[in-house]
């Protein structure tokens, strides 16, 4: 046990003393914040597009668009800025198009240039709208025009049918009152609190995926460094293979746990300051009824299962390049459970997910994501036992493979790797 701890502490300190460790602690929250606010920041930093509206229906639709584009609050940016159509009024839509099209095509910022031009003309019982825009990739303006013009068209028709403005307003305000109930929900009425277990399980699954993803690289590099510099050979004369493997796995686990502790503390602080009710509900869900224990069981088991595999593979690699070639297929394998995890939020009782929970590489992710469905105790115990048994089996067969790989100096050969796993001898 002492040797395991000493190996773990050395590996932990080796990582904690690197710049990369501190960058990963700081950059992830910054990155998440930037990711979260990127859309808002983009909107705020770019000016509202200048749009000219030419309405050949009498001005009703131009008015509707002006209202739709206006900002809801004085401090908000309007969806678009309506500007007079240079050279107007125009005798007909064709002339308007001919005059405005060059202004839309001209460089942004040039005098009289437009970001978009909207030309509205009568068409049969309704209207036809031509939208000329500089930024064809942005569908937001077209969407806003479609909604505003559609509303106005509907309003016009209803007025013609005898519905007055007050009645129209009252009709628009009509909304059904829907209340969701579930026998599993507290008080039978479904609230955000009832959705939190599913979200917490999903978040734990994603967290595990991130830990395995980042920890895999660290474990591989750590073993490769020791193997290529022949330190591993010296260590094998000082400690047993399970001690070295366990020490390394725990060392990297402590590194990722430190990073996670900082991130989670930060997230909990932000959540409790911004959404105190949600934070209280989440804490209550996690710390009552054994939910935190359930999630930790599969988190720890999953980490150990994947970490053991990575340490063994690392022992067979001489260089990081060799490891990279192996990491690719392993990451694809690791990505498979993620595809099913999001489904588990809405369909935790799906038979497919229940079946996948019994496949060891899926177990930790599926069971974490299915936390909301409150799987039966026998299923929790059975899948957990299978997961830990797989880890034990991995250790049993991988131990000699690790030793064999650590003492070899050749390139990684799949044949040799599997032969050492199968023969389980040095």
Partner 1 sequence: MGPAAVVLEGVTKRYGGFTAVDDLSFQAAAGRILGFLGPNGAGKTSSIRMMLGLIAPTSGRISVLGEPDASKVRARIGFLPEERGLYRRMTPVSAIAFLASLKGMAPAEARRRARSLLEEQGLGAAMDRQIRSLSKGMAQKVQLLSALAHEPDLVILDEPFSGLDPVNQQSLEAIIRKLADRGATVIFSTHVMQHAERLCDHVVLLAGGRKVFDGSVAEARGAAPRTLVLEGPFDPAAVSDLPGLEGLASEAADGGGVRVTAALRAGAPAQDVLKAAFAKGLDIQRFELKEPHLHDAFIVLTQGAPA
When asked if residue 238 is in the footprint of partner 1 (CB under 8 A), the reply is yes
* Beta-bridge partners for 130: 119
For the chain, the 3-state helix, strand and coil shares in percent, each to the nearest 5, are: 70, 5, 25
16 versus 210: smaller Cβ distance to partner 1: 16
When asked if residue 240 is in the footprint of partner 1 (CB under 8 A), the reply is yes
Least spacing, CB of residue 217 vs partner 1, in Å: 17
CB 405 within 8 A of CB 311: no
Phi and psi, residue 131, nearest 5°:
-110, 115
Instruction: Return the residue of 159, 233, 277, 349 that touches partner 1, per CB under 8 A.
Output: 233
Beta pairing, strands 81-83 & 50-55: parallel
When asked if residue 407 is in the footprint of partner 1 (CB under 8 A), the reply is yes
Residues 6+ apart with CB under 8 A from 148: 61, 64, 65, 67, 68, 69
Least spacing, CB of residue 236 vs partner 1, in Å: 6
Residues 6+ apart with CB under 8 A from 349: 370, 373
Q: Taking contact as CB under 8 A, which single stretch among the options 128-136, 157-165, 237-245, 298-306 is the one that binds partner 1? A: 237-245
When asked if residue 315 is in the footprint of partner 1 (CB under 8 A), the reply is no
257 versus 407: smaller Cβ distance to partner 1: 407
When asked if residue 403 is in the footprint of partner 1 (CB under 8 A), the reply is yes
When asked if residue 426 is in the footprint of partner 1 (CB under 8 A), the reply is yes
CB 318 within 8 A of CB 411: yes
Structure tokens at 415: 């044949």
Instruction: Return the residue of 230, 411, 423, 424 that touches partner 1, per CB under 8 A.
Output: 230
Q: Taking contact as CB under 8 A, which single stretch among the options 166-174, 190-198, 210-218, 235-243 is the one that binds partner 1? A: 235-243
Least spacing, CB of residue 14 vs partner 1, in Å: 7
* Terminal-to-terminal C-alpha distance of the chain: 24
- Tell me how crowded residue 104 is: count the other CB atoms within 10 A of its CB: 20
8 versus 127: smaller Cβ distance to partner 1: 8
3-class SS of residue 77: coil
When asked if residue 254 is in the footprint of partner 1 (CB under 8 A), the reply is no
Size of residue set near partner 1 by CB under 8 A: 25
Structure tokens at 298: 């599969």
When asked if residue 21 is in the footprint of partner 1 (CB under 8 A), the reply is no
Least spacing, CB of residue 237 vs partner 1, in Å: 5
When asked if residue 236 is in the footprint of partner 1 (CB under 8 A), the reply is yes
CB 384 within 8 A of CB 298: yes
168 versus 407: smaller Cβ distance to partner 1: 407
Report the alpha-carbon distance of residue 24 to residue 30 in Å, rounded: 10
Report the alpha-carbon distance of residue 260 to residue 136 in Å, rounded: 42
When asked if residue 319 is in the footprint of partner 1 (CB under 8 A), the reply is no
**405-409 CB contacts, 8 Å cutoff, 24+ apart:** 405/227, 405/312, 405/315, 405/316, 405/317, 406/227, 406/232, 406/233, 406/236, 406/315, 407/233, 407/236, 408/316, 409/318
Of 312, 303, 330, give the one whose Cα is nearest residue 399.
Answer: 312
Beta pairing, strands 81-83 & 116-123: unpaired
17 versus 160: smaller Cβ distance to partner 1: 17
Q: Taking contact as CB under 8 A, which single stretch among the options 35-43, 94-102, 220-228, 275-283 is the one that binds partner 1? A: 220-228
When asked if residue 239 is in the footprint of partner 1 (CB under 8 A), the reply is yes
When asked if residue 10 is in the footprint of partner 1 (CB under 8 A), the reply is yes
Q: Taking contact as CB under 8 A, which single stretch among the options 4-12, 34-42, 112-120, 126-134 is the one that binds partner 1? A: 4-12
183 versus 410: smaller Cβ distance to partner 1: 410
Per-residue binding letters, 172-211, with partner 1 (x by CB under 8 A):
----------------------------------------
Report the alpha-carbon distance of residue 361 to residue 364 in Å, rounded: 7
> What are the residues binding partner 1 (CB under 8 A)?
3, 6-7, 10, 14, 17, 225-226, 228-231, 233-240, 403, 407, 409, 425-426
């Amino acid at each position: 046990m002492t040797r395991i701890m000493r190996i773990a502490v050395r590996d932990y300190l080796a990582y904690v003393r690197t710049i990369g460790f501190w960058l990963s602690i700081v950059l992830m929250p910054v990155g998440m914040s930037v990711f979260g606010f990127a859309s808002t920041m983009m909107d705020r930093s770019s000016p509202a597009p200048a749009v000219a509206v030419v309405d050949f229906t009498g001005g009703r639709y131009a008015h509707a668009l002006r209202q739709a584009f206006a900002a809801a609050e004085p401090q908000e940016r309007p969806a678009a800025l309506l500007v007079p159509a240079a050279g107007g009024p125009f005798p007909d839509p064709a002339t308007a198009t001919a005059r405005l099209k060059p202004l839309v095509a001209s460089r942004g910022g040039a005098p009289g240039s437009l970001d978009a031009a909207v030309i509205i003309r009568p068409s049969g019982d309704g209207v036809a709208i031509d939208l000329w825009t500089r930024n064809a990739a942005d569908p937001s303006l077209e969407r806003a025009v479609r909604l505003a013009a559609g509303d106005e068209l509907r309003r016009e028709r209803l007025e013609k049918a005898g519905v007055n403005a007050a009645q129209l307003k009252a009709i628009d305000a009509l909304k059904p009152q829907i209340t969701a109930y579930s026998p599993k929900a507290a008080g039978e009425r479904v609230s955000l609190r009832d959705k939190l277990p599913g979200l917490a399980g999903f978040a734990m699954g994603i967290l595990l995926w991130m830990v395995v993803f980042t920890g895999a690289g660290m474990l591989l590099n750590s073993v490769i460094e020791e193997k290529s510099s022949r330190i591993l050979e010296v260590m094998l004369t000082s400690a047993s293979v399970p001690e070295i493997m366990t020490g390394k796995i725990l060392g990297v686990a402590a590194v990722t746990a430190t990073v996670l502790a900082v991130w989670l503390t930060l997230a909990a602080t932000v959540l409790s300051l911004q959404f105190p009710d949600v934070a209280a509900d989440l804490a209550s869900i996690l710390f009552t009824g054994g939910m935190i224990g359930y999630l930790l069981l599969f988190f720890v088991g999953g980490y150990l299962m994947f970490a053991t595999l990575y340490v063994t593979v690392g022992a067979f690699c001489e260089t990081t390049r060799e490891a990279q070639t192996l990491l690719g297929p392993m990451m694809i394998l690791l990505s498979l459970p993620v595809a099913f995890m999001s489904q588990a939020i809405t369909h935790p009782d799906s038979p497919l997910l229940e079946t996948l929970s019994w496949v060891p590489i899926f177990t930790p992710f599926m069971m974490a994501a299915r936390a909301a469905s409150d799987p039966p105790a026998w299923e929790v115990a059975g899948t957990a036992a299978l997961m830990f048994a797989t880890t034990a089996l991995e250790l049993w067969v991988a131990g000699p493979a690790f030793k064999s790989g650590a003492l070899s100096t050749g390139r990684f050969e799949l044949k040799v790797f599997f032969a050492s796993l199968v023969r389980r001898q040095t």
